[in-house]
């Protein structure tokens, strides 16, 4: 479908410029995208990013309290006719303080020809899905034969990472998990173990999980200070480490001394570094995750390489997934029109 055809199709459902399509989180979910669908869409977005077929300025943010951030994340992916912006917050104390999720926000999509807004939808579910999709696609490209995976942080992201990882690391036998809150580990096991064959094991501490796993990820919290929960001494050659929480969780020496430090977006990592998130300096970047998925750059070149692949989240993935949700919602009549 080209831009004209797309606009014509959308115009049959909403009066562009006068109306917008609104969807709650439940409605976003009920459009029925599966984990395989999300993996396919996310891969398309990463490959478009790797091939530089996109526009996406590094996310800008505001920080009303020291421990929180809001990000404005616009993107345009021409191959998917996907144009829009995510406006997302991260308040790490929300679960304990308000019994609300750490991450909430909205997604806005626009018509390519007139620029008018055409859709507003919840973005928390999209974020919860596309983030593990990026991690596990990168894991499969960098470490396809892994039999062990470790997940630090068993909240929204941790649960989805364990669900998604078995789709791409097909040889996984054991998944170690660790969270400072035991009940979060129990909840993850109760909700995910019945769905997957790999055995989920409750880790005792950071060291045990780090030493037991070939591929590791973390989704805990993001602050400027590196907490170094995992020591460099516990890491070994040949491992693949995929943080979703930037520089907070791991000893900065790990990324600095890694054979390859790969990032989803160089622009974004440089922007975070300028804002003070890498007080010890941004490690030397080998290439971008999308370049590896597009086959443009080499990932793992030997079994002994220590690889860190930091994916902080890119709006190219959000707009591509959101656009597919919008298409399905319009086709199925899920959601409602609101006047502009």
Ligand X SMILES: NC(=O)c1ccc[n+]([C@@H]2O[C@H](COP(=O)([O-])OP(=O)(O)OC[C@H]3O[C@@H](n4cnc5c(N)ncnc54)[C@H](O)[C@@H]3O)[C@@H](O)[C@H]2O)c1
The answer to the question of residue 153 lying near ligand X (CB under 6 A) is: yes
Candidates 54, 229, 261, 326; binder of ligand X (CB under 6 A) is 229
> Which residue in the shown chain puts its C-beta closest to ligand X?
155
Cα–Cα dist 142/152, whole Å: 19
Residues 6+ away with beta carbon under 8 Å from 71:
59, 60, 61, 86, 87, 88, 89, 90
Cα–Cα dist 238/226, whole Å: 23
Nearest to ligand X of 127, 247 (CB atom): 127
For the bound state, the minimum distance from the C-beta of residue 30 to ligand X, rounded and expressed in Å, comes to 21
> Largest Cα–Cα distance in the chain?
61
Candidates 244, 282, 293, 319; binder of ligand X (CB under 6 A) is 244
Interface with ligand X by CB under 6 A: which range of 208-216, 292-300, 308-316, 332-340? 308-316
Nearest to ligand X of 131, 289 (CB atom): 131
CA angle 84, 87, 88 (to 5 degrees): 135
Candidates 33, 68, 85, 90; binder of ligand X (CB under 6 A) is 90
Nearest to ligand X of 198, 242 (CB atom): 242
CB atoms within 10 A of CB 268: 23
The answer to the question of residue 250 lying near ligand X (CB under 6 A) is: no
The answer to the question of residue 56 lying near ligand X (CB under 6 A) is: no
**Residue 234 has what DSSP assignment?**
G
The answer to the question of residue 312 lying near ligand X (CB under 6 A) is: yes
CB atoms within 10 A of CB 70: 16
Distance of alpha carbon 319 from the chain centroid: 13
Pair 258, 306: CB distance under 8 Å: yes
What x/- string results for residues 101 through 140 when contact with ligand X is judged by CB under 6 A? -xx-----------------------x---x---------
Nearest to ligand X of 21, 149 (CB atom): 149
Pair 131, 160: CB distance under 8 Å: yes
Q: Which residues bind ligand X (CB under 6 A)?
A: 90, 95, 102-103, 127, 131, 152-158, 178-181, 184, 219-222, 229, 244-245, 311-313
């Amino acid at each position: 479908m080209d831009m004209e055809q797309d606009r014509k199709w959308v115009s049959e459902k909403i009066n562009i410029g006068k109306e917008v399509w609104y969807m709650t989180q439940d409605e976003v979910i009920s459009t029925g995208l599966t984990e395989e669908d999300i993996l396919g869409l996310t891969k398309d977005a990463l490959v478009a990013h790797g091939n530089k077929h996109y526009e996406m300025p590094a996310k800008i943010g505001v920080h009303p309290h020291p421990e929180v951030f809001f990000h404005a994340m616009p993107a345009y992916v021409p191959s998917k006719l996907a144009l829009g912006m995510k406006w997302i917050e991260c308040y790490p104390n929300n679960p304990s303080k308000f019994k609300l999720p750490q991450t909430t926000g909205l997604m806005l999509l626009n018509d390519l020809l007139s620029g008018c807004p055409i859709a507003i939808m919840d973005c928390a579910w999209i974020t919860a899905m596309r983030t593990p999709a990026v991690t596990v696609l990168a894991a499969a490209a960098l470490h396809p034969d892994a039999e062990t995976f470790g997940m630090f942080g068993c909240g929204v992201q941790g649960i989805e990472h364990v669900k998604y990882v078995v789709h791409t690391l097909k040889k996984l036998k054991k998944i170690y998990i660790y969270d400072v809150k035991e009940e979060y580990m129990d909840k993850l096991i109760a909700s995910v173990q019945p769905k997957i064959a790999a055995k989920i094991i409750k880790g005792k501490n950071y060291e045990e999980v780090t030493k037991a796993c070939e591929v590791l990820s973390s989704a805990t919290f993001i602050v400027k200070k590196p907490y170094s929960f995992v020591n460099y001494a516990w890491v070994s050659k040949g491992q693949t480490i995929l943080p979703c929480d930037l520089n907070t969780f791991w000893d900065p020496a790990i990324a600095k001394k890694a054979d390859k430090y790969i990032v989803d977006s160089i622009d974004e990592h440089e922007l975070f570094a300028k804002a003070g998130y890498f007080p010890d300096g941004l490690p030397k970047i080998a290439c971008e995750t999308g370049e590896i998925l597009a086959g443009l750059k080499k990932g793992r070149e030997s079994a002994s390489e220590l690889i860190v692949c930091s994916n902080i989240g890119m709006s190219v993935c959000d707009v591509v997934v959101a656009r597919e949700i919008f298409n399905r919602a319009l086709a199925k009549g899920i959601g409602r029109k609101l006047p502009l």
